[in-house]
Structure 1
Amino acid sequence: MGRYLAFFLLVIGTLGYSQETKGLNDLQELKALVVNAQTDQPMESVHVVNLNQVVGTITNEKGEFNLTAKVNDTLFFTFLGFKSQKIRVSNDMFKFKNTKIALTELAYALEEVIVRPYSLTGYLEIDVKNLPLNNAFQYSISGLSFGYEGGSKNPSAVTKVLGAILNPADLLRNLFGKKPNQMRKLRQMKEDDQIRNLLASKFDRETLTELLQVEKIDINDILTNCNYSKSFISTANDLQILDAISSCYEEFKILNRKN
């Protein structure tokens, strides 16, 4: 009798462990509610992105959302005028359907606006002396009829300019090589309509940097070395930036295979 009891307890324990492991490793439907932290009122049209699975959704009029996720996935919440927030998915979020995620409003402090930053007299000879000088350094290379702007004077500026001109493939390899796994997510991002709609309304690069796990300066470096203009980089929405990075990455892979 004791043997049968021990065997029975072992089977029950194994089944319980199996169910727990399945919950941790399998994609499940996650349901939760987003509320305003100050008023506890539900928030409609909050963008929710699963950074691991690269899928997105928005909350309904009751502040509710459904999203596929695994335990330990990271959810990223964004809404205009509120602080963005990242939440790690726990097993309890699947067990209890009334999980609340609270977003906090941003406090905007208005700064003094200077309408006339320079004291101009109307006399050209005097006003020219009062205008600030451009401190960006230009680097010329023998044999080329034009120079390159290298920004502030520092030892790495010349190296960066030379690297971009003489070996752009290596420069891109270093940039893309930092996060190869994240760059592979580019196609997934382009195929998810919710993420595309979210990025089309964004200009701050915040969601894009979270999805790609790169810094804003890396995005600028990638686009600059793929011959995108400063005007495009500074004015394009996040979806246009995503498409530009994706196009550049595809060209880089072709160039890399040839080498």
Structure 2
Amino acid sequence: MRRILLTFFFLVSLMGFAQTEEENQEIRDITATVVNAQTDFPLESVHVINLNLVKGTITDQNGRFTISAAVNDTLYLSYLGFKTQKVRVTNDMFRFGDTKIALTELAYALEEVIVRPYQLTGYLEIDVKNLPINNSQQYSISGLPTSYEAGSKNPSAVTKVLGAILNPADLLRNLFGKKPRQMRKLRQIKEDDNIRDLLASKFDRETLMELLQLEKVDIEDILNNCNYSKSFITTANDLQILDAISSCYEEYKVLNRKQ
């Protein structure tokens, strides 16, 4: 009899645990307020992204936002001039509904900047010789309409370019095959206007790294091997970088399908 009772209580506990887990995984709307940690004033137009669901929103004039989330999802908050912050969603945030999230201002130490203007003479032949030289190397192959930028004089740069052209399927498979789940997020990211607006205003790759779970060096490696120039990789905003990665990934899927 005791064994039957123990089994019964065990099954009841197990069912209660399963029900709690199901509730924790339920996607619901969560509302919170973002404030300045120093002044406690609400912050308007803070970008909030649910990294798990790949959904974004922005705070209103009162610093409030509403976004879909489940327990243990990660919210990523970004605001110009403030330190980005990641917040884990808890049950309390659903129960009480008045969560306050504080962002800390960044302190910038301005260094002395020395401006050295070019000493132009007005004579084209002389001034052209004084312009800085672009050290990036361009390689062209007979029969192909475009040249490819290797970025350095290192002999391996030539190998990298030839590898990208002559065996692109293997190259892209090595790059994208390591992160298939993150790469599938590309389409979701591109369809969310709030996330696209945020990426269009950023140049640090920080948000992309969080969304795709890639290191900055991985992003640069992908673009290098997809024949994007060094100048594009260093000057493009995060949205342009996202579109470039997406284009390269689509090429990978087509090539992979043919294998």
TM-score range, shorter chain: 0.7 to 0.9
The verdict on how the C-alpha distance between 1:43 and 1:235 changes in structure 2, with shifts beyond 3 A counting, is: same
**Residue segments in structure 1 that go unaligned for 5+ positions in a row:** 1-5, 120-130
The verdict on how the C-alpha distance between 1:132 and 1:240 changes in structure 2, with shifts beyond 3 A counting, is: closer
The verdict on how the C-alpha distance between 1:139 and 1:240 changes in structure 2, with shifts beyond 3 A counting, is: closer
The CA deviation at 1:118 is: 10
The alignment status of 1:252 with 2:257, answered yes or no, reads: no
The verdict on how the C-alpha distance between 1:245 and 1:111 changes in structure 2, with shifts beyond 3 A counting, is: same
Q: How many residues align?
A: 258
> Which residue of structure 1 lines up, in the alignment, with residue 105 of structure 2?
105
User: What is the root-mean-square deviation of aligned Cα atoms in Å?
Assistant: 3.8
The verdict on how the C-alpha distance between 1:159 and 1:206 changes in structure 2, with shifts beyond 3 A counting, is: same
> Which residue of structure 1 lines up, in the alignment, with residue 95 of structure 2?
95
How does the TM-score come out when normalised to structure 1?
0.79
The CA deviation at 1:45 is: 0.7
> Which residue of structure 2 lines up, in the alignment, with residue 46 of structure 1?
46
Letter aligned with residue 51 of structure 1: L
Letter aligned with residue 214 of structure 1: L
The alignment status of 1:82 with 2:82, answered yes or no, reads: yes
> Which residue of structure 2 lines up, in the alignment, with residue 174 of structure 1?
174
The CA deviation at 1:159 is: 4.9
Deviations 1:77-133 (A, max 9, x none): 0000001111111222212212111111000111111223999xxxxxxxxxxx999
The alignment status of 1:228 with 2:228, answered yes or no, reads: yes
Alpha-carbon contact 1:200-1:237 (below 8 Å) kept: yes
Give aligned-pair identity as a percent.
73
The alignment status of 1:200 with 2:176, answered yes or no, reads: no
Q: For 1:197 and 1:132, how far apart are their aligned partners in 2?
A: 35
The CA deviation at 1:224 is: 2.9
The CA deviation at 1:53 is: 0.3
Q: For 2:133 and 2:66, how far apart are their aligned partners in 1?
A: 55
Q: SS of the residue aligned with 1:60?
A: coil
The CA deviation at 1:258 is: 0.9
Alpha-carbon contact 1:23-1:91 (below 8 Å) kept: no
Q: For 1:248 and 1:150, how far apart are their aligned partners in 2?
A: 17
The CA deviation at 1:138 is: 8.9
> Which residue of structure 2 lines up, in the alignment, with residue 125 of structure 1?
none
**Residue segments in structure 2 that go unaligned for 5+ positions in a row:** 1-5, 120-130
Q: For 1:172 and 1:75, how far apart are their aligned partners in 2?
A: 30
The CA deviation at 1:9 is: 8.5
